[in-house]
Amino acid sequence: MPDITKTDIGRRMYQLHKEKGVEKATEKIRESLGADWKTFSDADIRMLERLLGEAWVSFENTHWEKIPFGRMKKEDVEHVLDIGRFLDLDQAPKTQVLEELKKVLLAGT
């Protein structure tokens, strides 16, 4: 069995915390949207989770905690997805994507 370094453990723990944060946020959004959640495709949901993951990593914890995921409406989710569609995460400057995300996600605070 290969040796596992403390750095590897730390990275994995960080990844698990990120996944848990995104999972909780996604669940709050799903509950908030009710039947409207079913209007989003699997690809849309994967993109939403990816965008939320980018936000979780980049936003200060105080900003992340202020995001009203449980009060998001379908239009809010569509706006977040539009950011992902129009500002390609792999091509656009990450700061531009994150600033747009922050505007949308913190709009309800």
pLDDT in tens, 60-102: 999 899 999 999 999 999 999 998 888 776 676 778 888 889 9
For the chain, give the longest Cα–Cα distance.
49
Contact criterion met (CB below 8 Å) for 68 and 109 = yes
Q: How confident is the model at residue 24, as a pLDDT?
A: 97
Model's pTM, two decimal places?
0.88
Please tell me the distance from the alpha carbon of residue 92 to that of residue 47, in angstroms, as a whole number: 15
Q: Which residue from 89, 75, 90 is spatially nearest to 104, judged by alpha carbons?
A: 75
- The amino acid sitting at 62 is T
Q: Which residue from 55, 45, 57, 70 is spatially nearest to 103, judged by alpha carbons?
A: 55
